[in-house]
Amino acid sequence: MKQMKTVQNLKEKILALTTEEDRMNEVEEQAEYEVVIGEHWYKLINAITAISGYGSPGNPPTTPKTHIRLPKLGLPHYNGDVLEWNSFWELYNVSVHQQGDLELIWKFSYLQSILTGVALKLISGFKLEAANYSQVISLLQATYGKKG
């Protein structure tokens, strides 16, 4: 338990020493690394397939697909407009919220950096801690995700 506290204290110190822009850049860099790793994984699978004889006459190997490097897409800022919630949430959910390897504190930090206006004010009482992330998400969904 002492080690967990030490890790949490270090995380808080790191957050205090970094800007929101630094944290957003970190998330973007991680996404870029995942793309590069995926490309290398694809090449490795193709090489193993070719060596293993999978490409026999009756069962040719699949041809490699061309990988196009798409430009980075930043997430839109959300200001609390109920009409924009669904499109905002869909993008944020896929891009950040569902990323299982991204720690909650980073998800929370990124979310905080793209909220503005009344949406940011709504969550302003929550301390930037991993434990508060799910509560903030629930509050935002309850407030703006109303079906109508």
Helix axes 104-114, 130-144, angle to 10 degrees: 40
41-69 confidence digits (pLDDT tens): 777 777 776 676 555 444 555 555 566 67
Q: How far apart are the first and last CA of the chain?
A: 46
Instruction: Kindly report whether the global pTM for this prediction surpasses the value 0.85.
Output: no
124-140 confidence digits (pLDDT tens): 999 999 999 999 999 99
**Domain definitions of the chain by residue range:** 2-144
Encode burial over 100-137: b for 16+ CB neighbours within 10 A, e otherwise: eebeebbbbbbbbbbbeeebbebbeeeeeeeebbeebb
Q: Do 133 and 108 contact (CB within 8 A), yes or no?
A: yes
Mean pLDDT of the chain: 81
> How much is the average pLDDT of 8-23?
80
